[in-house]
Structure 1
C-alpha cells in the first residue's frame, strides 16, 4: 500500500500567523496518530499567501501557474486534508474560497477533511458550521465531526493551546481525521499507473514472448 497523503491548507496572511500556528498544531496531532498506528504517510503544507496572485490570475484566465498547479494537484491527491482559514466578515477569507473555487470539480469527493478557523474573538466560532462545513459538504468531502476554532485568547505563552479543552479538541480532531483516512484513503483510491511504470524493455519482452 502506498503512503497516505496528508495535506494542510492554511490561508493566514501574516508571518507569523495564528492561522498557520493552528494548522501546525492540527497537523502535528494527525501525524502523531498516523505514526502511532504505524501507517506510512507523506505530509505537505500549502501556504495560500504564496499563491495569492496566481489564484487571482487563474480565476480570470482559467490557467494555473506551475506552483499553483502543484498545490492544486497535491490537494486533489490528498487522502486527508486539514483546512484552516482566518475569519473575515464572519466567514472564510476570500483567498481561501478562491483557492477552492479553482480546484477541479469532484477533486475532494470522499476525501476526509478537518475544518478549522481562527479569529480575534470567540463570537465567530459558528463560522465552522454556517460557512466551512456546508462548503466542503457541497464539494463532496467527508467533514470530520470535530471542527476547531481558536480565538486570540485561546493561545498561551509560546504559541501553546491556552486551555485543556482546546488541546483535547486538537487530539480528537486529529484522531477522527486519521480514522477516516484509514477508511477512505489509500486502500480505496486506485493506484496511479504511472507512479511505478513498467520499464519499456520489460514491456517489449512481454510482447515478444506472446507473439
Structure 2
C-alpha cells in the first residue's frame, strides 16, 4: 500500500514534520506501507504559478499525481490565524476535486497553544469532507506543551489504528456489487412472506418503494474510490 504524507511546515526542523513522522511511524508499526513525503514549502513557488496560469510544473505535478494514486493520506498543517496555513489550502485548491473522493485521510495540526485545537474540526475536517475524502474519526493536534507530555502518543496510535483498516479495505480485492438486497423471510405460503400486524416485511419487492438495501461499509468505500 502507498501512504502519502503532506506536510505544510515552513521551518527546518519543523514541529509539523515531526508530527507527520510520528504518525507515519505509528502506521508502519501496524502495516508495511510505501511512504512518500510531500513537503509543501519546496513547492510554494510552483503552487503560486499554478494558481495564476492553471498549469502544474514538474515537481508539483508529480506531487499531485502521488496524492491521487495513494491508498491513504496523512496531512499536517501548522495553525496560522486560527486556521490551516495558506500554503496548505493552496495545494488542495489546485488539486483535481475528484482526486480525494473516497480516499482515507488522517488530519493533524500543530500550534503554539492548545486553544487552536478546534481548527481540526472547524477547518480541516470540513475541507476534506467537501473533497469527499473519508476522514478518520481521530484527529491529532500537538501544541508546544504536548511534546513529551502524556496524551499525544495515545492520540497518534489511535488515529493510525483507524487509518490502516480503511487503507486496507480500499486497496484490497475488486469490489463486489454495490448493493445487496435484504432477502425475503420464509413464509408458510407460496404467495410471499408472512406479515405480522404492525411489522413491515423488508424484501426485494420493497426496494425503491419505501424499502431499504444494506451496503457493507467496505463496498461503499470501494464504490466511492471507483475501484
TM-score interval (norm. to shorter): 0.7 to 0.9
| Secondary structure class of the residue paired with 2:31 | helix
Aligned residues between the structures: 177
Matched with 1:17 is: 14
RMSD over aligned CA atoms reads 1.3
Task: Give 3-state SS (helix, strand or coil) of 1:81's partner.
Answer: strand
Report the Cα distance in structure 1 between the residues aligned to 2:172 and 2:17, rounded to whole angstroms.
27
Preserved contact between residue 10 and residue 46 of structure 1 (Cα < 8 Å): yes
State the Cα distance separating 1:32 from its structure 2 match.
1.1
3-state SS, counterpart of residue 115 of structure 2:
helix
Partner of 2:27: 30
User: Structure 1 residue 72: deviation in Å?
Assistant: 0.5
Between Structure 1 and Structure 2, the one with more helix by share is 1
**SS of equivalent residue, structure 2 residue 100:** coil
Report the counterpart of residue 101 of structure 2 in structure 1: 109
1:178 maps to 2:164: yes
Whole-angstrom distance in 1 between the partners of 2:4 and 2:115: 28
Encode CA deviations 1:148-176: one digit per residue, 9 max, x unaligned: 00001111xxxxxx123110111110110
Q: Which runs of 5+ in 1 are unaligned?
A: 36-40, 156-161, 192-211
Please state if 1:118 is matched with 2:110. yes
Question: Which moves more between the two structures, 126-135 or 176-185?
Answer: 176-185
Give the Å deviation of 1:103.
Answer: 0.5
Alignment of 1:1-211 (within 5 A): 4-35=1-32, 41-155=33-147, 162-187=148-173, 188=222
Contact 1:79 1:186 (C-alpha < 8 Å) held by counterparts? no
Q: Secondary structure at the match of 1:113?
A: strand
State the alpha-carbon separation in 1 of the partners of residues 29 and 38 from structure 2.
20
Name stretches of at least 5 consecutive residues in structure 2 with no aligned partner: 174-221
Helix, strand or coil: the match of 2:67?
A: helix
Q: What SS does the corresponding residue of 1:164 show, helix, strand or coil?
A: coil
More contact order relative to length (CA 8 Å, sep ≥ 6) = 1
User: Given that residues 8 and 83 in structure 1 are in contact (C-alpha distance below 8 angstroms), is that contact kept between their aligned partners in structure 2?
Assistant: yes
1:105 Cα deviation from its structure 2 partner: 1.6
Q: Give the structure with higher Rg (CA).
A: 2
